[in-house]
Structure 1
Amino acid sequence: MRKFLIPVLLLLFAYGCAENQIPVETQTLFIGTYTDGSSEGIYTLQFNPETGTLDSLELKAKLPNPSFLAISKDKKNLFAVQETADFDSIGGGVTSFSLHNDELKLLNSKGSGGAHPCHVAVSNENQIAVSNYSGGNLAIFDLGEDGSLAERQLIEHNLDTVKTAHVHKAHFNEDGLFVADLGLSALKRYDKQPYGWVPAHQNTIEMAQGAGSRHFVFSENKAYLYVLNELNATIAVLKRDDEGSYNIIQTAATNDDPQWCADIHLSNDGKFLYSSNRGKNTIVIYTVDAENGEITFVGNESTRGNSPRNFTIDPTGKFVLVGNQKSDNITVFKRDAEKGTLEFLKEYKVPSPVCLVFVD
């Protein structure tokens, strides 16, 4: 009798443990896409922060080329560019949605004031900034109380008689508004005044000739700025001085294929820097020196896809998710918090993913 009793007790114990397990709360991942293929607009997937798995692909909004998304600080709105040249007679568009329980409700859309808007940034003061790549200008929109788009200010970058501006990213912080311009190979800075945004102290931060400044990221304390240059495949490390100016202290190569760098992020603890490279279809990994901000190459990790655009580190910091535009897949990697290295887990089919944004 005893030999039968022990297995039964073990089964009952296991069943009781399973009953007491708390279900893992998934995190919603919004996905921006290009719609020149099978994609129809903005999608979501549910992400398990313990296992790194994704499931339940859903179309949330039909929109032409919502290639970049941003979620408001209070999580009540989502903004999407329409990366086209024919929203109106001037260029592309931008759309505001209300966001509730992972559902999107259209509020309004407006022209971005230039062709092919490729990035949207959200401020803490009810404004967004839209980067018009082909238009070579920046649109700043006031927002209504519900997050709808209101008045627009345009800032032109095509003032250089030699270079053609291609505005690629904007970022609001305590020091104002920073804007990467790939065509000018520079970052521009603006201050907010009662009558609008105006050139700031150190209005232009020059990169190397032809570098192609695309995306950038600040250290948490804003002491260092890391600029990803698409065309010469480099990362410029800049240090903030006592006057608030940023000066280059290091330039690091991302690979030996001088083109097509795309996105850049710091790990949550600031110890590692990651960038995506479409020339080699890799994520490039660096350590960050806590004393001087400089970076040291760790290695490359294949993205298991073609043309990695935007990528993101999940809110827990345990995983990296990559959108591979031309192979129609999102790949998930487990991140080693001590070494910074990435371990491939799985891929998920999604049409033309180019922007990945977590709600949390």
Structure 2
Amino acid sequence: MKLKLYTLLLTLSILNCTAQDTTLYVGTYTGGDSEGIYKLTFNTETGALTNKELVAKAENPSYLSYSPDKKHIYAVVEHEKGMVSSFKITDNKHLTLLSKVSTHGAHPCHVAINKSGNKAIVSNYTGGNASIHTIANDGTLTEAFQVLEHNVDSIVSHVHSAEFYKNQLYVSDLGKNAVYNYQLENDKFKLIDSSIVDLANHAGPRHFALTNNGKFIYIINEYSSSITVGQKTEKGFTKIDEDSTLEADYNGKNSCADIHLSKDERFLYASNRGENTIAVFKRETNSGTINKIQTISVHGNWPRNFTLDPTGQFLLVANRWSHNISVFSVNASTGLLKFMHDTKISEPVCLLF
């Protein structure tokens, strides 16, 4: 009887430990020691990162995105001859290459999938355009059915990110200093607005976060180290707030990188490359305005992408030049961060739970 009880308790303990573990995929640059896409085990109770393993050899997979059902992963190939790849996730969480197609532009740096999982858009930084692809039922990518060209005048385009929202498509162009809005019409995306909200001169919009209801947009500006807040109107967005991501006494060079809302949308997080910090903002959920409440060191150099874990209790930062991933705990009540520990990995630039 005691043996059966012990066996039952041991089984429950193992199941509980398994339930606390989730997989983190890491996109990297492969000019040094890295060979492609890695996976680590993340414990959502302790914040521990373990079991680093190469799961797909790939060239500069600097941005990764899931399919909605999390059965496939899409990765850019950041190179002069831009490509985007699709992978099937196997039973042991490794990745099997399914397809690789041209992005029709150099140095793709971002890929996003629509909610239905049947379209992908890839942002080409040097190419100054974005390619849109159909995704088949098996996860394979077709050749681009549309390319959004932004290099149409003397101002050099640098498309940096894009997101689908219902039948809308928003595209952030750092070079043009604008966020574009396209709308799906007759299976193609039609340009509705080439600048949805006023931005300061040479702000450099890089990434953005939309609220779930689409009412507010938060744009992180690489050059001006600021966040522009827009509120949805009938004719696009109107600017309602703008805040610096830097401490008032910081005088060095800085380039903002990534931005994310907490799951409950009460807090906003932004990464600073140069100051090497995460800026934390409290968000007024009704008005949409933000107020900075914390600046915390990333315990590394040149933070690129960062992410919140599935529980919302941890925030992880990919520090490219210090070759580490830093783990922070998140206070659910205040949104404030506390550094816990870090894990070494060569040139991490994208984190995907």
TM-score in terms of structure 1 length: 0.90
1:233–1:258 Cα contact (<8 Å) kept: no
Match of 1:44 in 2: 39
Map of 1:105 onto structure 2: 96
* 2:172 pairs with 1:165: no
Q: Structure 1, residues 171-204: CA drift from partner, whole Å, max 9, x if none? A: 001251000000011101111122521112x342
Letter in 2 for 1:176: Q
Instruction: Decide whether the 8 Å contact of 2:253 with 2:275 is kept in 1.
Output: no
Q: Secondary structure at the match of 2:106?
A: coil
1:287-311 residue CA offsets vs partner (Å, 9 max, x unmatched) = 0012211000101110000000000
Moved more, 320-329 or 250-259: 250-259
CA deviation vs aligned residue, 1:241-278 (integer Å, no higher than 9, x gap): 2x151111111011145631000001111111000001
2: CA distance, partners of 1:112 / 1:173: 21
What is the alpha-carbon distance in structure 2 between the residues aligned to residue 20 and residue 165 of structure 1?
56
CA distance in 1, matches of 2:35, 2:129: 27
Root-mean-square deviation (Å): 1.7
Are 2:330 and 1:325 aligned?
A: no
For residues 290 and 273 of structure 1, what CA distance do their matches in structure 2 show?
Answer: 11
Q: For residue 96 of structure 1, what is the aligned residue in structure 2?
A: 86
Preserved CA contact (<8 Å) 2:30 2:36: yes
Q: Which amino acid aligns with 2:226?
A: T
Residues in 1 aligned to 2:34 and 2:10: alpha-carbon distance in whole angstroms: 39
TM-score by length of 2: 0.92
Partner of 1:156: 149
Find out whether 1:182 has 2:177 as its counterpart.
Answer: no
Q: How many Å separate the matches in 1 of 2:100 and 2:235?
A: 36
**Residue 10 of structure 1 aligns with which residue?**
none
User: Structure 2 counterpart of 1:252, which letter?
Assistant: D
Alpha carbons of 1:49 and 1:244: their partners in 2 closer, same or farther (altered >3 Å)? farther
Q: What letter corresponds to residue 149 of structure 2 in structure 1? A: E
Conservation of the 8 A alpha-carbon contact between 1:60 and 1:103: yes
Distance across 1 between alignment mates of 2:75 and 2:9: 44
Query: Residue 137 of structure 2: which of 133, 140, 145 is its match?
Result: 145
Helix, strand or coil at the partner of 1:51: coil
Residue 52 (structure 2) pairs with residue 57 (structure 1): yes
Matched, 1:74 2:69: yes
Distance 2:312 2:24 in 1: 15
Contact 2:222–2:255 (8 Å) recurs in 1: yes
1:326–1:258 CA distance, 2 compared to 1 (3 A): closer
**TM-fit CA distance, 1:339:** 1.2
Letter in 2 for 1:130: V
1:345 Cα deviation after fit: 0.8
Structure 2 CA distance, aligned partners of 1:188 and 1:95?
Answer: 25
Deviation (angstroms), 1:34: 0.2
The 1:18/1:197 distance shift into structure 2, 3 A limit, reads: same
**Residue 16 of structure 1: how far off its partner (Å):** 9.1
Q: Which amino acid letter does the alignment assign opposite residue 151 of structure 2?
A: N
Percentage of pairs with the same residue? 43
| Structure 2 CA distance for partners of 1:345 and 1:18, relative to 1, 3 Å | farther
Residue 228 of structure 2 aligns to a residue whose secondary structure is strand
* Alignment partner, residue 348 of structure 1: 343
Structure index of larger Rg: 1
Q: Match for 2:108: what amino acid?
A: P
CA distance in 2, matches of 1:175, 1:72: 18
Q: Confirm or deny that 1:117 pairs with 2:139.
A: no
CA deviations over 1:146-175 (Å, ceiling 9, x no partner): 1111131111001132x2100000000125
Number of residue-to-residue matches in the alignment: 338
Partner of 1:6: none
Secondary structure of 1:301 counterpart = strand
CA contact (8 A) 1:231 1:258 kept: no
1:7-66 Cα distance to aligned partner (Å, 9 max, x none): xxxxxx999977753432211000000001100000000000000101000101111100
Structure 1, gaps ≥5 residues long: 1-12, 86-90
Question: What do the CA deviations read for 1:69-117 (whole angstroms, capped 9, x no partner)?
Answer: 00100112110000010xxxxx211111112331211111111111100
Distance in structure 2 (CA, Å) of the matches to 1:109 and 1:14: 51
